[in-house]
């Protein structure tokens, strides 16, 4: 940038006349605009296409074969069609809470995968989260539902977290190794409690996310429990009691004791990509 341009930019910032677009990234909107008359209850949304894609491209660890998915025009279209189907949901009416929760978990995960496929090959989602200038996948990638476009941030903080179910933090996946595993099946209202429990148990069975030492009364746990501490309880003792049922059996008494020292583990932002070994992620 030339010196004169830098000076002009500085003046614009100080005077408050800089256009918003210079600070925000270009929005990427997925899904479709659906008239109110054509919307259906969340309970009637069909998640089977997402289920098919997860079975095909996600392994038991939650790692994704992004390369093969990216190479399949048909399956990229199937994902786009599924996102378009999510847009047909009506957010009004008396849909069951489990149906709403399953809808938004699936939506969050599907939009995240869509965002990674747009950028792939990449090594981490953080390559696409500009803080000031440029595209930020968490803010600028948006799904149309009803009369609003929802960013990933909005889905997580304005919708999912307000549903009062802390196990969402072991279900929604930001395409990182430090995240919970991406379940290789769609979340379904009729099995939601079972699926959330199973994924929470799998999360804490992973030594990179949870460790307990009874000799020193020390628990080491994922930084997710620090970032979203309030969702698990008002203090550390309460938070540990909240997660205790999902911990390995021998660690549960320590978590319930109320006397444990807690250390938060480093978070691995490396991409959950089948194309590289797990240890290759950045910390």
For residue 32 the two structure tokens come to: 């479709």
The dihedral through the CA atoms of 151, 153, 157, 160 has a sign that is: positive
pLDDT of residue 209: 98
pLDDT of residue 24: 53
Q: 30 phi and psi, to 5 degrees?
A: -115, 165
268: helix, strand or coil? coil
Instruction: Give 105-154 pLDDT, tens digit per residue.
Output: 999 999 999 999 999 999 999 999 998 889 999 999 999 999 999 999 99
Any long-range contacts for 122-127 (C-beta under 8 Å, 24+ apart)?
Answer: 122/271, 123/270, 123/271, 123/282, 124/176, 124/269, 124/270, 124/271, 124/281, 124/282, 125/174, 125/175, 125/176, 125/269, 125/271, 126/269
| Rounded-to-integer distance, Cα 163 and Cα 240, Å | 20
User: Does residue 3 carry a pLDDT above 90?
Assistant: no
| Rounded-to-integer distance, Cα 160 and Cα 154, Å | 9
Instruction: Give 46-93 pLDDT, tens digit per residue.
Output: 999 999 999 999 999 999 999 999 999 999 999 999 999 999 999 998
Q: How confident is the model at residue 14 (pLDDT cuts 50, 70, 90)?
A: very low
User: Does residue 249 carry a pLDDT above 80?
Assistant: yes
| Rounded-to-integer distance, Cα 211 and Cα 75, Å | 38
pLDDT of residue 237: 97
pLDDT of residue 114: 98
pLDDT of residue 243: 98
pLDDT of residue 127: 97
User: Does residue 279 carry a pLDDT above 80?
Assistant: no
> What is the residue-averaged pLDDT of the chain?
91
Contact by Cβ (8 Å): 144, 114: no
Q: How confident is the model at residue 7 (pLDDT cuts 50, 70, 90)?
A: very low
Instruction: Give 210-228 pLDDT, tens digit per residue.
Output: 999 999 999 999 999 999 9
Q: How confident is the model at residue 94 (pLDDT cuts 50, 70, 90)?
A: confident
Instruction: Kindly list the domain boundaries of the chain, sorted by start residue.
Output: 27-196, 210-267
Which one has a higher pLDDT value, 280 or 269? 269
Q: 38 phi and psi, to 5 degrees?
A: -105, 5
CA angle 31, 189, 37 (to 5 degrees): 45
pLDDT of residue 13: 34
Contact by Cβ (8 Å): 244, 100: no
| Rounded-to-integer distance, Cα 99 and Cα 130, Å | 33
Q: Where are the beta strands (DSSP E) in the chain?
A: 28-30, 40-41, 89-90, 141-145, 148-151, 210-213, 218-222, 261-265
pLDDT of residue 276: 74
What pTM was computed for the model? 0.90
- How long, in residues, is the chain? 283
pLDDT of residue 281: 36
| Rounded-to-integer distance, Cα 73 and Cα 180, Å | 28
């Amino acid at each position: 940038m030339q010196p004169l341009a830098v000076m002009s930019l500085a003046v614009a910032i100080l005077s408050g006349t800089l256009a918003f677009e210079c600070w925000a990234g270009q929005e990427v909107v997925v899904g479709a605009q659906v008239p109110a008359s054509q919307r259906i209850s969340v309970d009637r949304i069909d998640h089977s296409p997402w289920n098919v894609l997860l079975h095909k491209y996600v392994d038991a660890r939650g790692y994704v074969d992004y390369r093969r998915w990216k190479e399949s025009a048909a399956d990229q279209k199937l994902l786009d069609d599924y996102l378009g189907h999510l847009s047909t949901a009506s957010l009004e009416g008396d849909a069951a809470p489990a149906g709403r929760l399953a809808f938004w978990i699936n939506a969050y995960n599907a939009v995240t995968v869509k965002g990674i496929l747009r950028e792939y090959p990449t090594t981490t989602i953080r390559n696409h989260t500009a803080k000031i200038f440029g595209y930020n996948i968490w803010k600028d990638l948006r799904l149309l539902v009803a009369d609003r476009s929802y960013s990933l941030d909005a889905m997580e903080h304005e919708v999912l977290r307000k549903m009062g179910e802390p196990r969402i933090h072991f279900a929604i996946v930001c395409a990182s190794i430090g995240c919970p595993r991406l379940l290789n099946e769609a979340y379904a209202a009729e099995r939601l409690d079972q699926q959330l429990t199973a994924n929470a148990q799998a999360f804490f069975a992973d030594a990179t996310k949870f460790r307990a030492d009874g000799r020193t009364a020390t628990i080491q746990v994922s930084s997710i429990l620090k970032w979203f501490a309030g969702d698990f309880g008002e203090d550390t003792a309460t938070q540990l009691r909240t997660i205790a049922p999902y911990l390995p059996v021998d660690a549960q008494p320590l978590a319930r004791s109320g006397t444990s020292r807690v250390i938060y583990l480093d978070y691995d932002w490396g991409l959950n990509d089948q194309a590289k070994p797990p240890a290759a992620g950045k910390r």
